Amino acid sequence: MEVVVGSGRKVEPDSVRSLVEAVLSAEGASGSVVVAFVDEQQMIGLNGRFRGMEGPTDVLSFRQADAESGWPEIDERGEAELGEVVVCPEVVSRYAREADGDREDLLGRTVLHGVLHLLGYDHEQDQGEMRAREEALAQELRPKISAISLEMEG
């Protein structure tokens, strides 16, 4: 489990790690996950390159199982590499403001959402199963979701 924090951001990696591990455990899954926090310009580039969409989004998930090179590979610790979750805190903050919500709560839920995508859930294709599972886990893991905070520098 790796947490990558871009410049200008402060995040406590242990809280992110704890949430991801709890989601994997609740789903009966195991493996290596990378969670990266990027700025809005980086997210615009990723969203355009990998989804063909203009503008930023809050989260992208890159499943190793969907890669053409035969993933999941085994990392140096003997764990399957599940993939990478890329989060844009600026977009998450904007969504929270627009919904009169709590930024940290939404940040944690965004990480949860991304990890569920790594595990094969797809709200764009299913009949509501991902949203239902996400809501159930959000309730079950509320303290871990609330523990994630991110401060912007500057």
Amino acid identity, position 31 = G
17-33 confidence digits (pLDDT tens): 999 999 999 999 999 99
Q: Measure the CA dihedral 31/111/55/100, to 10°.
A: 170
108-138 confidence digits (pLDDT tens): 999 999 999 999 998 888 888 999 999 999 9
Output the pTM of the full model. Answer: 0.87
Amino acid identity, position 130 = M
Domains of the chain with bracketed CATH: 2-147 (3.40.390.30)
